[in-house]
Structure 1
Amino acid sequence: MPTPVPANARNPLRTFQFRLRMSTSGAGDYVAGVRTVSGLSVSVGAHETWEGGNNLHRYAQPHKVTWEPLVLEQGLALDDSLERWARAVLEFARTGKAPGEPVKRDLFIDVWDAYAHPTAVPAPGGMEARIRSFHVHNAWVSKFHALPKLDAMAGEVALLSLELTHEGWEPVPRPVLSLPATP
């Protein structure tokens, strides 16, 4: 049975209320300064079969699944966890030996509702305020841009960019919201 939607839910969700968690085990650490996450999409190809003697009708079946790469942008700051991950993948590609940092990681993209619990900790709040979460399986850095175009005449924020290849993603079931007991 699907989880019921609370009566006070405000839809649609805003795109700025998200966090990225990296994990090599069950628990994960949030990555600071992630500005954008894009590419959470999948394509399913079709396998076509034509019936003998009938050239007007085809049968199509789902065939090959392609998971699009994820693209992350992070402001250059003190949190260098994404950069260390990219260096670990490069070290593994260069030497074939597993470095100290994991090469493949599971990612969790948590989307929050700013209005779920206005009296709780400031947004994005506790885990109970999480509305949607997506689990990305065995991601690794396939493209890394350490610095953007530097321009002395511009006042833009410096962003590093990563493209992640992965082995698929799935939505994580929403936590069940429990209401306090009334006397």
Structure 2
Amino acid sequence: MPTPIPANARNPLRTFRFRIRMNTSAAGDYVAGVRTVSGLSVHVTPFEVWEGGNNLHRYAQPHKVNWEPIVLEQGLALDDTLERWARAVLEFARTGKAPGEAVKRDVFIDLWDGFAHPTEVPAPGPAEARIRSFYVHNAWVSRYHALPKLDAMAGEVALMSLELTHEGWESVPKPPATKPAPPA
């Protein structure tokens, strides 16, 4: 007979919640309504050399790193932070002058655990735990879809999408756990 699993058991393979923040925002100030993040991957191409006179055996070494673009999708009516960023990049490409907003930004993708309900996104507190953060270096908007395909007969949500080209990303380890202060 299998052992029963308690109802409150932690499942490490479930889908985690995530939030996006940028270097221009204050700590804890997240971009609202980002629905999906994809493309957080890297490809390392080999550099191949052959030993002198021996064409049968090659030696491969890691050589060139290709960072895949990151795609963000966001609901149109929620927050205009990403749209303003895309317009700033377009203005820079058109005029060559930096507008009031930064064109290249550092982006943080924070993974959180411990939400009570999938639709609930409370402020981080004792019930939530940041599992990991990904730090994306010098990202800029390289592709911007302002509107999805519009169809009056479909019941779909209007999402805009951004493709971010960047100079690499790194995983930031989980912050150390802090012990609560003893009662006074």
Q: Aligning the two structures, in what range does the TM-score lie when normalised by the shorter sequence?
A: 0.7 to 0.9
Q: Which amino acid aligns with 2:89?
A: V
Matched, 1:84 2:88: no
Deviation at 1:23, TM superposition (A): 1.3
Matched, 1:12 2:13: yes
User: Normalized against structure 1, the TM-score is what?
Assistant: 0.85
Question: SS at the partner of 2:149?
Answer: coil
Between the aligned partners of 2:178 and 2:13, the Cα distance in structure 1 is 22
RMSD over equivalenced CA pairs, Å: 2.5
Q: Deviations over 1:22-77 (max 9, x none)?
A: 11377463100000000000010100001122122111011000000000000111
Alignment of 1:23-172 (within 5 A): 23-24=23-24, 27=27, 29-114=29-114, 123=122, 125-126=124-125, 129-172=129-172
Q: Which amino acid aligns with 1:77?
A: A
Between the aligned partners of 2:81 and 2:74, the Cα distance in structure 1 is 10
Structure 2: runs of 5+ lacking an equivalent: 1-8
Question: SS at the partner of 1:29?
Answer: coil
Give 1:4's aligned residue. Answer: none
Structure 1: runs of 5+ lacking an equivalent: 1-7
Q: Deviations over 1:121-148 (max 9, x none)?
A: 9656338710010000000000000000
After TM superposition, where is structure 1 displaced by more than 6 Å over at least 4 residues in a row?
none
- The number of equivalent residue pairs is 172
Between the aligned partners of 2:61 and 2:96, the Cα distance in structure 1 is 39
Question: SS at the partner of 2:62?
Answer: strand
Contact 2:33/2:78, CA 8 A, preserved across alignment = no
Question: SS at the partner of 1:130?
Answer: strand
Q: Which amino acid aligns with 1:100?
A: G
Question: SS at the partner of 1:167?
Answer: coil
Between the aligned partners of 1:25 and 1:155, the Cα distance in structure 2 is 34
Q: Which amino acid aligns with 1:164?
A: L
> What is the percent sequence identity of the aligned residues?
75
Deviation at 1:13, TM superposition (A): 4.5
Between the aligned partners of 1:182 and 1:59, the Cα distance in structure 2 is 59
Range 21-30 or range 40-49, more displaced: 21-30
User: Normalized against structure 2, the TM-score is what?
Assistant: 0.84
Question: SS at the partner of 1:82?
Answer: helix
Give 1:5's aligned residue. Answer: none
Question: SS at the partner of 1:18?
Answer: strand
Between the aligned partners of 1:78 and 1:182, the Cα distance in structure 2 is 41
Go from structure 1 to structure 2 and tell me whether the alpha carbon gap of 1:28 and 1:102 turns closer, same or farther (over 3 Å shift): farther
